[in-house]
Amino acid sequence: MRLAFQVAYIGTDFYGSQMQPGLRTVEGTVIGACRDLGLFDDWRKAGFAFSGRTDRGVHARRQICAFTTPPCPERAIARLNHILPRDCECSGWAETDDSFHPRYNAQARTYRYYIYDDGSTDPHRMQEAASLLTGTHNFSHFSRLDGKNPERTILSSHIHAEDGFYIYEITAPGFLWNMVRCIVSSIIAMGRDELNADDMTALLKATPGMRHVTPAPPEGLILWDIDCGIPFTPLKGTGSMRDAAPERTRFFETMKKVNWMMD
C-alpha cells in the first residue's frame, strides 16, 4: 500500500528538508517517526520521497511525502502525529497507486513570502513588479542553474497586505534553486525604487551585464501548497503543532527582522 501525507513544519530548527547525516532535517524526522511505528525499515525500499527540497530556515504548510507500507494505514493515520515533534505535523493523508511520486506528480507549487511592512516599500510598485513575473521567462539571473533549463512558467504572481505584512504569493509547475527568494529580493528592490520596470524586464530576459539577484533570507519563505492531482483527507485534532504557539510567535517575530537583514 502506498500512502501520501501533507506535511507542515516550522523550519527554524531544521537544517532544511533533505536528509543530511548528523543533522536534524524534516525528511530525517519523518522517516524516524515512520520507523518507530514500524511502517517500514528501509526508506529506500519503501520509496520514501518528498515533493521537493526546502532550504534551512524555510517553512512549509503543505509539503507532500509518500511511502509504501504494509496494508495498515490506520497505524500511520492515528499515530504519526503523536510521534512527530511539535514543529512538524501531518495535516492530511491519501491512499495512492503504486506509481505515485510526490515530486513527479506535482502539477503546481505555491510559495508565500512574508515581507514585514516597515514603511520602506511601496506596495503598488511591488505589485507592478509581481505582475511582470507571469508567463514564461528566463530566470538565469534569479538562480544558480547547475546546468538546468533557466526557463520557467509562472502561473500567478501577486502581493496582498495582511496583519502588518505584505505577502507575496507565486505559483508555478516548478522552480529553480533560490528562485523564489531572488524574485522576492527584486520585488522589494522595486518597491524601494532601487529597480524600475525596465530593469525587471531586462532581468527576466537574462540580459547580459545585469547583476545576479541576491536571494532574500530564507526565514520569510513558506512552501504554501502543492497540487498533485489527488484529494487528501484532513487529519484534525491530533496535530503535533496544535500547541506550537511559541514557534508561531517566533516565526512572526523573525519576519519583522527580515527587512533589516536585506539592507
Cα separation values, 248 from 46, 58, 105, 133, 252, Å:
33, 13, 30, 30, 6
Cα separation of 66 and 225, whole Å? 16
Active site residue 36: no
Cβ count near 107 (within 10 Å)? 10
Q: Using an 8 Å Cβ cutoff, are 79 and 218 in contact?
A: no
Active-site position among 13, 55, 117, 199: 55
* Helices 123-131/179-191 angle, 10° precision: 140
Cα separation of 125 and 95, whole Å? 44
Which of 11, 5, 4 lies closest to 87 in space, CA to CA? 11
In the block, residue with C-alpha cell 519523518: 30
Catalytic residue ranges: 55
